[in-house]
């Protein structure tokens, strides 16, 4: 029975859409419960948690993860508390926030920590490229992100609408990783077509001035 309990706990920690079949897990738990009613105190809560998580997965906001190096990236709009939870359910490990503190960046931090995800922050007051003085900070962030990808991290990058700041920084990160301009643009399009279409060429060209 302990092996079954361990399997259930592992699934609950990372019940993304590609994980094992929860129906088979539920059937096995219920079969074990039928054999040993005294185990209800342990198995009952597990069964309840799995069913609750199944319901959450049915109403999930799907994240478009794109494989980059050993990990994954996704980009999008400012995440609500539900979306942060959905990101975790789909295997997310990090959230990179590009909002300023006045835009509520700390609220995203609190929600991220609550879901036991890692929070990264590069505050941007506008959609203009970062100043030269901030490049060391940005390069340090990119180095941390690259290392996280090596460890198979899944990083969600966002600003407010997920277009200008998000597209610019995501593209710059892909170039930092060594991708050619065209490959980086293709990956940006794969990440989010709206962002690729509307980010603006000047924001994509900015990275070439300091890379």
Whether residue 188 is found in the same domain as residue 94: yes
Query: What's the N-to-C CA distance of the chain in angstroms?
Result: 55
Mean pLDDT, residues 37-53? 84
Whether residue 9 is found in the same domain as residue 103: no
Confidence of residue 16 (pLDDT cuts 50, 70, 90): low
What's 93's DSSP letter?
A: -
Mean pLDDT, residues 163-192? 98
What's 91's DSSP letter?
A: T
Which helix (H) or strand (E) segment holds residue 72: the answer is: strand 71-76
Whether residue 16 is found in the same domain as residue 71: no
- Joined tokens for residue 162: 């997920």
What backbone phi and psi angles, to 5 degrees, belong to 75?
-130, 155
The model scores a pTM over 0.85: no
Confidence of residue 58 (pLDDT cuts 50, 70, 90): confident
Q: What is the tens place of the pLDDT at every residue in 70-118?
A: 999 999 999 999 999 999 989 999 999 999 999 999 999 999 999 999 9
Whether residue 41 is found in the same domain as residue 99: no
How high is the pLDDT of residue 42? 85
Whether residue 24 is found in the same domain as residue 92: no
Whether residue 40 is found in the same domain as residue 126: no
Number of domains in the chain: 2
CATH for 168: 3.90.190.10
Confidence of residue 41 (pLDDT cuts 50, 70, 90): confident
Q: What is the tens place of the pLDDT at every residue in 114-164?
A: 999 999 999 999 999 999 999 999 999 999 999 999 999 999 999 999 999
Buried b (16+ CB within 10 A) or exposed e, 50-71: beeeeeebeebeebebbebeeb
Whether residue 110 is found in the same domain as residue 177: yes
Whether residue 26 is found in the same domain as residue 71: no
Domain boundary among 29, 58, 87: 58
Whether residue 101 is found in the same domain as residue 140: yes
**Domain extent for 29:** 2-58
Whether residue 178 is found in the same domain as residue 91: yes
How high is the pLDDT of residue 150? 98
Whether residue 87 is found in the same domain as residue 189: yes
């Amino acid at each position: 029975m302990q092996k079954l309990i361990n399997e259930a706990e592992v699934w609950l920690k990372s019940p993304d859409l590609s994980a094992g079949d929860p129906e088979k897990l539920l059937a096995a738990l219920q079969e074990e419960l039928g054999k040993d009613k005294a185990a209800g105190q342990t198995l009952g809560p597990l069964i309840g948690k799995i069913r609750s998580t199944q319901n959450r997965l049915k109403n999930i906001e799907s994240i478009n993860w794109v494989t980059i190096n050993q990990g994954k990236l996704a980009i999008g709009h400012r995440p609500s508390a539900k979306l942060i939870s959905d990101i975790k359910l789909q295997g997310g490990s990090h959230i990179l926030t590009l909002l300023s503190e006045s835009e509520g960046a700390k609220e995203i931090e609190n929600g991220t920590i609550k879901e036991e995800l890692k929070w990264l922050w590069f505050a941007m007051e506008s959609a203009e490229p970062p100043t030269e003085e901030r490049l060391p900070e940005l390069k340090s962030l990119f180095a941390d992100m690259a290392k996280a990808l090596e460890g198979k991290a899944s990083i969600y990058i966002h600003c407010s609408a997920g277009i200008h700041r998000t597209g610019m920084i995501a593209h710059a990160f892909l170039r930092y990783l060594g991708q050619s301009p065209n490959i980086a643009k293709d990956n940006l399009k794969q990440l989010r077509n709206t962002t690729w279409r509307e980010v603006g060429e000047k924001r994509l060209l900015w990275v070439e001035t300091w890379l």
